[in-house]
């Protein structure tokens, strides 16, 4: 069983044995573009509990996502995939019914999700769509965005699958749907009335219900979507450092975006997560100790000492030290300044 202490949950056994299911984000957690994240395939295939995938990437239908995972060596079925395109299509149906027309600004995944709900798609603002729905697509063009702008300026409602500003790719961080939404919003003065994907908690609850999970952990790489949404859904939330968020981002995170667990990569699903507890003037985790002293955040482990706050050379610490450092930083009554790179020894 997962012990739900603060500031982090803990378990003496491997994490995957302390929950009844795992919900994975995809981009930056399982793969980057066409390539698997290191150790992800082996870690997922070793799971003995149900698992599924919740993604804000609306560009592909679930069947295509499952095929991609299968190509990477992960046995995945279409029904295990939950996308923000599906969430957006459900939102359109529940809000407006099916007797409307929709202009989809996005890829095949969005169009497929909308048509599966019985919604009628149009391809031009000249068809007077009732709603514009915008989702991620690597082939999005100026003409696509322009049709959305024209339709919104003529009175169409505006929804988005998600508002992620970036997305991990094999070449680095690329623009996400939120960046393209900003372009449309800047041209129209209209922001989407709602985004259906993460961090909306309903997408996590729906995915867990589909897989009959009651005590699942969500694994993601973004604090503002994966972690925030999972926490709002009442689920355990593990941040992995293989995608968007860095160790420094974690230290600086807002209270409602702080994970309940942290791992370096998906191998940490198969490892114990030691308790972080208050000790003297600081916090301890395993053999690591962290404290705020004279306005500086310091960690001590293996008889070595490092300062994480302020500026300076990159620092390498253990995952336990990061856990303790987060507890010390989050509980400090002083505002800390950070300007250095933190590496985690794996």
25 as an active site residue: the answer is yes
27 as an active site residue: the answer is yes
- 160 near 84, Cβ under 8 Å? no
- 235 near 220, Cβ under 8 Å? no
Q: Which of 9, 66, 63 is nearest to 217 (CA)?
A: 9
Of 20, 25, 130, 157, the catalytic one is 25
Report the distance separating Cα 288 and Cα 4, nearest Å. 21
Report the distance separating Cα 299 and Cα 290, nearest Å. 4
Report the distance separating Cα 89 and Cα 91, nearest Å. 5
Report the distance separating Cα 148 and Cα 30, nearest Å. 32
Residue 66 — φ and ψ, nearest 5°?
-60, -40
Question: Which residues make beta-bridge pairs with 53?
Answer: 24, 81
Residue with tokens 């809000």: 95
Of 27, 130, 221, 224, the catalytic one is 27
| Those residues with Cβ within 8 angstroms of residue 177's Cβ, 6 or more apart along the chain or in another chain | 56, 58, 106, 134, 135, 136, 160, 161, 162, 163, 164, 167
Question: Which residues are designated catalytic?
Answer: 25, 27
């Amino acid at each position: 069983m997962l012990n739900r202490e603060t500031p982090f949950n803990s378990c003496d056994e491997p994490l995957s044995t302390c929950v009844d299911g795992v919900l994975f984000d995809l981009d930056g957690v399982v793969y980057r573009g066409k390539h698997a994240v290191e150790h992800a395939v082996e870690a997922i295939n070793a799971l003995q509990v149900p698992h599924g995938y919740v993604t804000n990437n609306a560009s592909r239908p679930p069947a295509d996502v499952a095929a991609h995972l299968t190509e990477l060596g992960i046995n995945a079925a279409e029904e295990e995939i939950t996308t923000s395109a599906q969430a957006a299509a459900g939102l359109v149906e529940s809000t407006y019914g099916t007797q409307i027309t929709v202009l989809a600004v996005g890829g095949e995944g969005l169009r497929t999700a909308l048509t599966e709900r019985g919604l009628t798609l149009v391809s031009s603002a000249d068809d007077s769509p009732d709603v514009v729905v915008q989702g991620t697509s690597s082939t999005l063009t100026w003409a696509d965005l322009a049709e959305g702008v024209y339709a919104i300026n003529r009175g169409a409602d505006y929804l988005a699958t998600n508002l992620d500003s970036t997305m991990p790719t094999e070449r680095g961080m690329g623009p996400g749907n939120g960046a393209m939404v900003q372009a449309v919003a800047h041209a129209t003065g209209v922001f989407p009335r709602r985004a259906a994907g993460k961090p909306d908690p309903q997408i996590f609850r729906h995915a867990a219900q589909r897989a009959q999970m009651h005590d699942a952990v969500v694994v993601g790489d973004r604090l503002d979507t994966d972690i925030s949404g999972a926490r709002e859904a009442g689920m355990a939330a593990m941040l992995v450092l293989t995608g968007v968020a860095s160790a420094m981002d974690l230290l600086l995170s807002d209270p409602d975006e702080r994970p309940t667990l942290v791992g370096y990569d998906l191998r940490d699903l198969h490892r114990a997560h030691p308790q972080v507890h208050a000790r003297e003037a600081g916090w301890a985790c395993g053999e690591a100790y962290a404290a705020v002293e004279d306005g500086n955040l310091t960690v001590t482990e293996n008889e070595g000492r490092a300062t994480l706050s302020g500026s300076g050379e990159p620092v390498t610490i253990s995952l336990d030290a990061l856990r303790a450092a987060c507890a010390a930083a989050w509980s400090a009554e002083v505002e800390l300044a950070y300007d250095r790179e933190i590496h985690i020894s794996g």
